[in-house]
Amino acid sequence: MTILDTIRGPSDLRELPVEKLPQLAAEIRRAICDEVMKSGGHLAPNLGVVELTIALHYVFDFAWDRLLFDVGHQCYPHKLLTGRQALLKKLRTREGMAGFPETSESPYDLFRVGHAGTAISTAVGMARGDTLTGEGFDPASRPDGRRVVSLIGDASIVNGVAMEGLNGAGTLKRQFLVILNDNGMSISKPQGALAAHFDKLRLSQTYGELKKDAREKLKSMPGGDLVAKAYHRAGDAAKAMISDETGTGWFEHFGLKAVGPVDGHDFPSLIEMLREVKEIDRPIVLHVKTIKGKGYEFAERDSSKFHSPPAFKVDADVETQGCRVELKSDGRSFTAAVGDAMLELMERDAKVVTCTAAMPDGTGISKPLAKFPDRSWDVGICESHALDMMAGLAKTGFKPFLAVYCTFLQRAFDQAFQESALQNLPVRLLLDRAGLVGGDGAVHHGFCDVSLLRTLPGAAIMAAIDEPSLKASMEFMRTYETGLSSVRYPRDTVSSRFTAVACPPFELGKARCLTPHCDVLTGHHAEAAILAFGTPALDALAAAELSGSRNVAVYDARFAKPIDAALVRALCESATPIITIEDHSIVGGFGTAVMECAHTVASTHGLSVPAITTLGLPDRWILQDSRPKQLAEVGIDAAGIANALRDLLAKSSVTEPAVSVPSRARQTR
């Protein structure tokens, strides 16, 4: 039996002698790596915080104290230490462990979280709440009170929300600990002036001379003598960073003291330092230096690739130096297609520029960054800044493309409204991982971009079904100057179904018929019409074939704004029942836009609205699982669409047209 097998909760951990903790750390790393090799998931971030997580649970009692994760993709060790070892074997599935903190799994997870920058602000809120209820730690009146700890990375702390959180934290008059996990990496290399400042500190050979000044400053803090002694014993591994000249003195401008860095992989000094800062009754930042991917040579060497890899295998023992690792690949991804398409646009048009927010590999922008470094930027985890910067570039006559995960677009919606759409500036959005994203679950689904963006006047909102249509949409965006534009595409491989067929150019508000033998716009009769937004169009074709009817018209809608009003009018005139499909929320989505258009057309031209069935994501959270299982769950895979189509065809004899929504889309669990 391993040590990990005996850990049913943090209380068991605290029974272990410190000398046993390195063995436990090795077992946790092995367990995580063995599972991620099979399932995929966040590997390098979790490997890097094993000792830090053990030390935190060893010193604090988070059944009572508060631990808040920033981003949350580094929570696997935390979950293994809090009674969830059995869930690891089904990582990122509905039956197993979520890849991010999940409140339904354990009371040790305080927030469902997957976006950077939030931990400090939510921790400030909990600290204030505990103080108001009388439960907060106070060395004099409540020494057994709740302590609050937030864990944030050096790349996340530059996020605007994190800065706002620090500003609020500095006003607290109580214990409040921010752990700055400094591994010199985000998903890729951190960007910006603050990241460069941290790099300077890591390379500095002189900041150790500030130890004396640091000890004097710490002595003025409650518990400071103990911290100073622990700091002194830590030696060169723990250097003071309190000076404005060479250290993280800028934390003091927020009202927080800063201590460190300490070695995040050295249990004795790490535990000793945590025990001392635990007793300080004012806001403090503990700077902890860790290695992303720690413990596995291949993950340390390429922590960007192994940040969140798919399943992979190695050709030798994973601890062998120089081992070869092969990542699982199911085909060419939309992300890879975007990278190549951006290169083509930038080669043809010197006005095209591009940007990403800490996701160069995840969005395909690593290729333009390498080839066009003067026209490509990675701004770090700063989506709002990225969109505003793109608006500034548009104002100076450039053609900016911002590549961003669909789930992170929400962080920049205000900028899309104020600095792009309101100014009629043509900022172009490439929305990767739109719709259901599989194992990352609810925190990462891209389900509300259409409902947000279609409120903006002048916006052109598109979706691609394959690589040719993706390239065609990007070419349309390059020349679209009326306002903001976007194209969405899933975390999936590109289909080859239409590669042998010429892809027609995108025309504003015009759909593409994928069944030319049954196109109502050319006078053909259709028993039903399917209007699909994005890749669900391919499943709609399969569903039409499964239904056994050749008189089903399938359209790649292409645009959620503007809707193809001519097509909708033709369907109203012919009283053709309609099914809309989208990998997006039904609330405010593409189907809603089609219904609004149908009612407007019918009212304007004295027509009746045909029966309209909307398929999409229901008004509930879809938890982690494989993407195919999630699509089946909400009824927008080929089988689900075929069932909806059969139901519609069976009801097609109803003479009184009506708008309907299938019960499956409305159900809740």
Each residue's pLDDT tens digit, 129-142: 999 999 999 999 99
Residue 323 within a domain? no
pLDDT at residue 300 tops 50: yes
Specify the pLDDT at position 21. Answer: 98
Could you tell me the residue range of the domain that residue 599 belongs to?
512-666
R_g (Cα) of the chain, nearest Å:
27
Are the beta carbons of 63 and 90 closer than 8 angstroms? no
- Residue of 502 and 212 predicted with greater confidence: 502
Specify the pLDDT at position 233. Answer: 36
Read off the DSSP letter of residue 6. G
Q: Name the band, by pLDDT with cuts 50, 70 and 90, for residue 549.
A: confident
pLDDT at residue 453 tops 80: yes
pLDDT at residue 76 tops 60: yes
Q: 517 and 484, same structural domain?
A: no
pLDDT digits (tens, 9 = 90+) for 17-55: 999 999 999 999 999 999 999 999 999 999 999 999 999
% of the chain exceeding 70 in pLDDT: 87
Average pLDDT score, the chain: 89
Distance CA 175, CA 283 (A): 6
Specify the pLDDT at position 375. Answer: 98
Q: 360 and 422, same structural domain?
A: yes
Specify the pLDDT at position 232. Answer: 40
Residue 504 within a domain? no
Q: Name the band, by pLDDT with cuts 50, 70 and 90, for residue 330.
A: confident
Distance CA 339, CA 241 (A): 40
Q: 540 and 464, same structural domain?
A: no
% of the chain exceeding 90 in pLDDT: 80
CATH number (domain holding residue 574): 3.40.50.920
Are the beta carbons of 419 and 388 closer than 8 angstroms? yes
Q: 445 and 570, same structural domain?
A: no
Maximum C-alpha span of the chain = 88
Q: Which of 376, 396, 372 is nearest to 386 (CA)?
A: 376
Specify the pLDDT at position 328. Answer: 82
SS3 for 553-592 is: EEEECCEEECCCHHHHHHHHHCCCCEEEEEEEECCCCHHH
Q: 353 and 263, same structural domain?
A: no
Q: Which of 333, 331, 488, 347 is nearest to 406 (CA)?
A: 488
- Residue of 291 and 662 predicted with greater confidence: 291
Q: 518 and 473, same structural domain?
A: no
The helix (H) or strand (E) run that includes residue 467 is: helix 467-479
pLDDT digits (tens, 9 = 90+) for 139-190: 999 999 999 999 999 889 989 999 999 999 999 999 999 999 998 754 455 5
Residue 577 within a domain? yes
Q: 520 and 453, same structural domain?
A: no
When pLDDT is averaged across residues 108-122 and rounded to a whole number, the result is 96
DSSP secondary structure letters along 384-415: HHHHHHHHHHHHTT-EEEEEEEHHHHGGGHHH
pLDDT digits (tens, 9 = 90+) for 517-528: 999 999 999 999
- Residue of 198 and 354 predicted with greater confidence: 354
Specify the pLDDT at position 329. Answer: 80
Specify the pLDDT at position 198. Answer: 53
Q: Name the band, by pLDDT with cuts 50, 70 and 90, for residue 196.
A: low
Residue 603 within a domain? yes
CATH number (domain holding residue 424): 3.40.50.970
CB-facing half-sphere around the CA of 165: CA atoms within 13 A: 28
pLDDT digits (tens, 9 = 90+) for 220-243: 554 445 444 433 433 333 333 333
Q: Which of 289, 319, 352 is the last residue of a domain?
A: 289
Burial group, residue 417, by CB count within 10 angstroms (0-12, 13-18, 19+): middle
Q: 455 and 385, same structural domain?
A: yes
Q: Which of 267, 289, 311 is the last residue of a domain?
A: 289
Residue 390 within a domain? yes
Q: 170 and 213, same structural domain?
A: yes
CA 36 to chain centre: 18
Specify the pLDDT at position 315. Answer: 74
Contacts of 131 (CB under 8 A, 6+ apart): 174
Number of domains in the chain: 3
E strands, 278-360, in order: 283-289, 312-314, 325-327, 352-356
Distance CA 591, CA 438 (A): 23
Q: Which of 289, 319, 348 is the last residue of a domain?
A: 289
Q: Name the band, by pLDDT with cuts 50, 70 and 90, for residue 667.
A: very low
Residue 447 within a domain? yes
Specify the pLDDT at position 250. Answer: 74
Are the beta carbons of 515 and 525 closer than 8 angstroms? no
Q: Which of 62, 67, 65 is nearest to 146 (CA)?
A: 65
Q: Which residues on neighbouring strands pair with residue 460, listed in sequence order?
A: 485
Specify the pLDDT at position 243. Answer: 35
When pLDDT is averaged across residues 503-513 and rounded to a whole number, the result is 98
Distance CA 58, CA 277 (A): 14
- Residue of 654 and 312 predicted with greater confidence: 312
Distance CA 69, CA 123 (A): 9
Residue 325 within a domain? no
Distance CA 462, CA 489 (A): 9
Q: 483 and 616, same structural domain?
A: no
When pLDDT is averaged across residues 474-489 and rounded to a whole number, the result is 98
Specify the pLDDT at position 647. Answer: 92
Q: 180 and 232, same structural domain?
A: yes
Contacts of 196 (CB under 8 A, 6+ apart): none
When pLDDT is averaged across residues 585-595 and rounded to a whole number, the result is 98
Query: How far, CA to CA in Å, does 399 sit from each of 353, 358, 474, 485?
Result: 6, 21, 11, 11
Specify the pLDDT at position 189. Answer: 55
Q: Which residues are catalytic?
A: 292, 383, 411
Specify the pLDDT at position 314. Answer: 81
Q: 652 and 535, same structural domain?
A: yes
Torsion of the alpha carbons at 413, 418, 421 and 427, rounded to the nearest 10 = -70
- Helices 467-479 and 334-348 cross at an angle (nearest 10°) of 40
Specify the pLDDT at position 319. Answer: 53
Residue 303 within a domain? no
